[in-house]
Structure 1
Amino acid sequence: MRLALAVAGAAGLAACQSAETPVVDVFRPDYRGVETRLLEGDLVNFLVTMEGARDGQDVVDYAECAAAQYALIRGFGFARQVRTNVVEEGGVWRGDAVYTVSPSLPRGLKTIDAEVAVDDCRARGIPTV
Structure 2
Amino acid sequence: MRLALALGLCGILAACIARAPFETLPERPVLPPEGATYMGSQTRLLDTDLANFLVEMRGARDERDAGAYARCVAAQYALIRGYGFARHIRTIVSEEGGVWRGDAVYTVSPALPPGARTLDAEIEVARCREDGIPTI
Same fold (TM > 0.5): yes
The runs of 5 or more residues in structure 2 that have no matched partner are: 1-32
Give distance in 1, aligned partners of 2:59 and 2:52: 23
Seq. identity, % = 64
Give distance in 1, aligned partners of 2:62 and 2:34: 11
* Alpha-carbon shift at residue 91 of structure 1 (Å): 0.4
Deviations 1:10-49 (A, max 9, x none): xxxxxxxxxxxxxxxx721100000000001211000000
Matches within 5 A, 1:42-81: 42-81=49-88
Partner of 2:120: 113
The runs of 5 or more residues in structure 1 that have no matched partner are: 1-25
**Maintained 8 Å contact 1:35/1:46:** yes
- Mapped pair 1:94 → 2:101: yes
Q: Structure 1 length as normaliser, TM-score?
A: 0.79
Aligned residue-pair number: 104
Q: CA RMSD in A?
A: 0.8
Residue 89 of structure 2, aligned match among 82, 85, 89: 82
Q: Which residue identity lines up with residue 83 of structure 1 in the other structure? A: R
Q: Which residue identity lines up with residue 27 of structure 1 in the other structure? A: E
Runs of 4+ in 1 over 2 A off after TM superposition: none
Answer with 1 or 2: which has the greater Rg: 1
